[in-house]
Amino acid sequence: MNDVRPAPPLPARPHQRVTDDGRTVREVLSYSRRGSRFTPRQAAAWEAHHEAWVVPDEAVDAPDFSWADVFGREAPLAVEIGPGIGEATVALAASRPGTNVLALEVWRPGVAEALGRTAEAGLRNVRFCGVDAAWLLEHRVAPASLAELWTFFPDPWHKARHHKRRLVAPRFAAVAAARLAPGAPWRLATDWAEYAEQMVEVLDAEPALAGGVVERWPERPVTRFERKGLAVGRTITDLEYRRV
C-alpha cells in the first residue's frame, strides 16, 4: 500500500519556498530586510497600535483567514506594496474611508512610523502586514477582488546581476492582474528610468492589462523618498494600468 502524504502548505514566511518533495529552500526576493531599531517615537507608536493594526505573519496561514475579519468589515480592498513610512498610505486611505487599505511592508521601523501617522490622521481603515507581497497576492487575495493596487518606488535593484529580484516581472504581473477587479487600476511610480522601461515592457506584455506611462497622479503625495530622487536629478515616471 502506497503511503500518500498530502503536499505541505506553502509557507507565508517571506524567505521560504517549498519544493515538490517538501524541502524548504530560500526564495529569490524583491526586497531585503533592513534594520529593526526603533526611535522612541516609533517604539511608542508600535506599542500603542501594532496589536490592532498589524497582521501577524502567522495569521495569514490560518485556513479561515479573511480580510473582512482583519478589518472588521466587508469593503473594497486596496493594496499598497512597499509603503515605507506610510506617507502615501495615509493620504490615500484618508480619501477612501469606504475602502480597506492594506500596506505590505517588511521594514518594521517604517511600519512603526506609519502606525503613528495613521493614528495622527484618525484613520481606522488601514492595516499593515510584513508577509511577502508576491506570496500574499497569490494566496490570500481572491481573483478579481482588488479595487486598487499601488506600487510606488519599488527597489530598482539597479545592478544587472540583481535585476532578477525586481518586483515588476512577468510572473508577478500575471498574478497582480488576475487579482484586480475588471477596470481596477494598478498605479506605479519609479525614479529609475531603466526600471520604468522594464515596467512598461513587462506590463504591456501582460494581456490582462492595458495602460502605460501617464502624467503624475495628483493623489500621490510627494514623499521624502521621492524628494531625495528629485534632489539628485532623477526623473519620476508614473504608470497606470487597468485590468481589462
Task: List, for residues 197-216, the tens digit of each pLDDT value.
Answer: 999 999 999 999 999 999 99
- Element housing 140 (H / E): helix 133-140
Examine the pLDDT at 14 and tell me if it is beyond 80.
no
Nearest to 136, CA basis, from 109, 163, 103: 103
Residue 153's pLDDT band (boundaries 50, 70, 90)? very high
pLDDT in the model for residue 117: 98
pLDDT tier for residue 124 given thresholds of 50, 70 and 90: very high
**Is 155 noted as a catalytic residue in this protein?**
yes
Find where cell 502567522 sits.
Answer: 58
What is the rounded CA–CA span in Å between residue 212 and residue 241? 6
Grid coordinates of 45: 507608536
pLDDT per position as a tens digit, 167-177: 999 999 999 99
Banded pLDDT at 158 (limits 50, 70, 90): low
Least confident of 63-67, 153-157, 219-223: 153-157
* Mean pLDDT taken over the chain: 89
Q: Which three cell numbers stand for residue 40?
A: 522612541
CB 209 within 8 A of CB 177: yes
Question: Which is the catalytic residue, given 57, 155, 204, 238?
Answer: 155
| 160: pLDDT strictly greater than 80 | no
pLDDT of residue 12: 53
Render pLDDT for 26-78 as a digit per residue (tens, 0 to 9): 554 444 445 578 999 999 999 999 999 999 999 999 989 999 999 999 999 99
Long-range CB contacts for residues 118-121, cutoff 8 Å, separation at least 24? 118/49, 118/53, 118/86, 118/89, 118/90, 118/93, 119/45, 119/48, 119/49, 121/90, 121/93, 121/94
